[in-house]
Structure 1
Amino acid sequence: MYSTVKMLHSYWAYLVLFMIVVATFNALYKTIAKKEYEARDFRLSLFTLIVSHIHLLIGIVLWFASDYFSEMSMGEIMKNATMRSNVVEHPLTMIIAVALITIGYSKHKKKLTSDKKLKTIAIFYTLALILVLAKIPWKTWLNL
Structure 2
Amino acid sequence: MYEFIQKAHSGWAYIVLLTLAIAAVNALAGKLSNRPFKTSDRQISLLALIAAHTQLVIGLILYFVSPLGKDSLGVMTGTQRLTSLEHPLINLIALVLITVGWSAHKRKTEDAKKFQVIALMYSIGLVLIASRIPYQLWF
TM-score range (shorter-chain normalised) is over 0.9
Q: 1:97 aligns with which of 94, 98, 115?
A: 94
CA distance in 1, matches of 2:121, 2:75: 35
Q: What is the deviation of 1:67?
A: 2.2
> What is the alpha-carbon root mean square deviation over aligned residues?
1.2
CA distance in 1, matches of 2:8, 2:120: 29
- Who is 1:127 aligned against? 124
CA distance in 1, matches of 2:66, 2:134: 17
Q: What is the deviation of 1:140?
A: 2.4
CA distance in 2, matches of 1:29, 1:135: 27
**Correspondence 1:1-144 to 2 at 5 A:** 1-68=1-68, 69-70=70-71, 72=72, 74-77=73-76, 80-141=77-138, 143=139
Q: How many aligned positions are there?
A: 138
Unaligned runs of 5+ in 1: none
Unaligned runs of 5+ in 2: none
CA distance in 2, matches of 1:59, 1:75: 20
* Residues 87-129 of structure 1: per-residue CA shift (max 9 Å, x gap): 1000111111111110000000011110011011011111101
CA distance in 2, matches of 1:18, 1:42: 16
Compute the TM-score of the two structures, normalised by the length of structure 1.
0.91
CA distance in 1, matches of 2:9, 2:130: 16
CA distance in 2, matches of 1:93, 1:33: 32
Q: Secondary structure at the match of 2:34?
A: coil
CA distance in 2, matches of 1:99, 1:54: 13
Q: What is the deviation of 1:81?
A: 1.1
* Residues 24-74 of structure 1: per-residue CA shift (max 9 Å, x gap): 01111111222211100100111111110010000000000112454x4x3
Q: Secondary structure at the match of 2:74?
A: helix
Q: Secondary structure at the match of 1:76?
A: coil
Percentage identity across aligned positions?
A: 38
Q: Which amino acid aligns with 1:53?
A: H
CA distance in 1, matches of 2:133, 2:51: 16
CA distance in 1, matches of 2:6, 2:74: 24
Compute the TM-score of the two structures, normalised by the length of structure 2.
0.94
